[in-house]
């Protein structure tokens, strides 16, 4: 014979036996049913047994598919009364003290609810949850399920439970624990999103490097230049051809300019150079006039080396070319220009025209240096349309002289 305790749960009779379905879920909360022996001292209007529970559920047009018992005892009713009605019974013993520290109980409850939803698809089949009075322990675990599994916030979960049950959660520690659980869930979600974003950034960077490496590999297999589009050999050839063409156009334009001032000779004032050499041509002038000697004097101190036996041709090789930043360019720096200007002023009024011509030559040298630097930068980039435009501009400029 099973021993039966005749003691009722504390304040059990003051709570309504059954609440409403919670929100968008299929969970309904009620206080624990009792054996008829425990209800002998109560009026019949206060009785609530398993039979009363099933009748009240049927009155709402619903039926129970599972009952989860959250009390810490088995003495209140016989589980066989429910199992005999084909209702699944789940027992989770929840102690009164130290309950909110038991995360294992929360996980067990959430798993039981999820299993109910997996097994029962009919919306008219409900999940019944109860503790002694159907308020504190039931409210805490149901709110934790709504927060942890469904993603509700703490205010929504508490409000939904209290509205359905008709009573507030009485223990402040349970309410505080619900708020802490919601805060921890949001922090975990934030950290998880940050970790995912970092992983996505790493994967994206690796994918970019992989695609870039693949493009270089494909380009090398096909024999095409690298991804930057710079072919040193082709660029060097183009620079050589461009410099030769520029030298030819400039020599032709300057021969027209200086052809008449040097007598009746039809010979060009520029000496001929070898076809493979790139040289800067200077006009051949008579060395007998005092005026020219006066102009030549300051030049002789720092004049460049004479190349190939031609007195007017200046070597512009890799060591002396103005394109590679050589110091021996055959052009004056600013200090030499100032010395030359001071020296020419001492020659008197008869050399004023010579001084103006010398300043004009200095300006031309600067412009020519700027054009050569621009040409060098364009050739270095190796873009054909820029080279073509530069050639057209150079040809137009020389043809206008």
Tell me if 9 sits within 8 A of 76, measured CB to CB: yes
Distance CA 366, CA 379 (A): 20
56 and 18 Cβ atoms separated by less than 8 Å: yes
Comparing CA positions, the residue from 225, 212, 223, 218 lying closest to residue 384 is 225
Tokens 């009620």 belong to which residue?
Answer: 30
Contact 35, 78 (CB under 8 A): yes
- CA torsion through residues 379, 383, 388, 393, sign: negative
Pairing of strands 313-315, 88-91: unpaired
Dig out the tokens for 357 from the structure.
């011509």
What tokens appear for 165 in the block?
């049950």
**317-325 contacts at long range (C-beta below 8 A, 24 or more positions apart):** 321/278, 322/369, 322/372, 322/373, 323/372, 323/373, 323/375, 323/376
SS3 74: coil
Of the candidates 94, 91, 169, which has an alpha carbon nearest to the alpha carbon of residue 134?
169
**Residues annotated catalytic, as ranges:** 131
Q: Which residues lie across from 30 on neighbouring strands?
A: 18
Helices (H), 120-231: 136-148, 154-165, 172-222
Strands 63-69 and 88-91: parallel
Exposed e or buried b per residue across 314-333, where buried means at least 16 C-beta atoms within 10 angstroms of its C-beta:
bbbeeebbbbeeeebbbbbe
10 Å CB burial of residue 255 (0-12, 13-18, 19+) is middle
331/367 Cα distance (integer angstroms) = 12
């Amino acid at each position: 014979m099973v021993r039966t305790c005749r003691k009722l749960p504390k304040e059990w009779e003051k709570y309504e036996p059954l609440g409403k379905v919670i929100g968008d879920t299929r969970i309904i909360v009620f206080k624990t049913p009792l054996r008829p022996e425990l209800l002998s001292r109560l009026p019949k209007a206060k009785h609530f047994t398993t039979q009363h529970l099933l009748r009240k559920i049927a009155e709402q047009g619903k039926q129970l598919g599972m009952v989860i018992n959250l009390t810490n005892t088995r003495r209140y009713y016989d589980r066989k009364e429910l199992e005999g009605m084909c209702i699944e019974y789940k027992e989770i013993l929840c102690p009164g003290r130290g309950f909110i520290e038991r995360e294992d109980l929360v996980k067990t409850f959430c798993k039981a609810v999820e299993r109910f939803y997996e097994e029962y698809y009919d919306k008219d089949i409900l999940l019944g949850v109860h503790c002694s009075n159907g308020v504190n322990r039931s409210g805490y675990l149901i709110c934790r399920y709504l927060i942890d599994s469904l993603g509700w916030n703490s205010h929504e979960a508490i409000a939904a439970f209290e509205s359905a049950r008709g009573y507030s959660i009485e223990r402040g520690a349970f309410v505080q624990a619900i708020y802490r659980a919601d805060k921890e869930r949001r922090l975990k979600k934030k950290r998880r999103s940050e970790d995912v974003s970092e992983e996505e950034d790493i994967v994206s960077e690796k994918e970019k490097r992989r695609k870039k490496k693949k493009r270089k590999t494909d380009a090398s297999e096909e024999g095409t230049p690298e991804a930057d589009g710079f072919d040193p050999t082709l660029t060097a050839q183009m620079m050589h051809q461009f410099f030769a063409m520029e030298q030819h156009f400039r020599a032709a334009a300057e021969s027209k300019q200086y052809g008449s001032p040097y007598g009746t000779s039809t010979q060009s004032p520029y000496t001929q150079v070898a076809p493979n050499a790139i040289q800067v041509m200077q006009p051949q002038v008579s060395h007998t006039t005092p005026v020219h000697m006066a102009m030549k004097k300051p030049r002789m101190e720092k004049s460049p080396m004479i190349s190939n036996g031609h007195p007017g041709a200046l070597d512009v090789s890799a060591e002396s070319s103005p394109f590679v930043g050589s110091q021996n360019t055959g052009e004056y720096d600013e200090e030499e220009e100032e010395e030359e200007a001071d020296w020419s002023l001492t020659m008197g009024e008869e050399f004023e025209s010579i001084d103006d011509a010398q300043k004009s030559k200095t300006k031309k040298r600067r412009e020519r240096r700027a054009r050569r630097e621009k040409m060098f930068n364009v050739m270095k980039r190796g873009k054909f349309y820029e080279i073509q435009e530069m050639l057209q501009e150079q040809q137009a400029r020389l043809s206008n002289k």
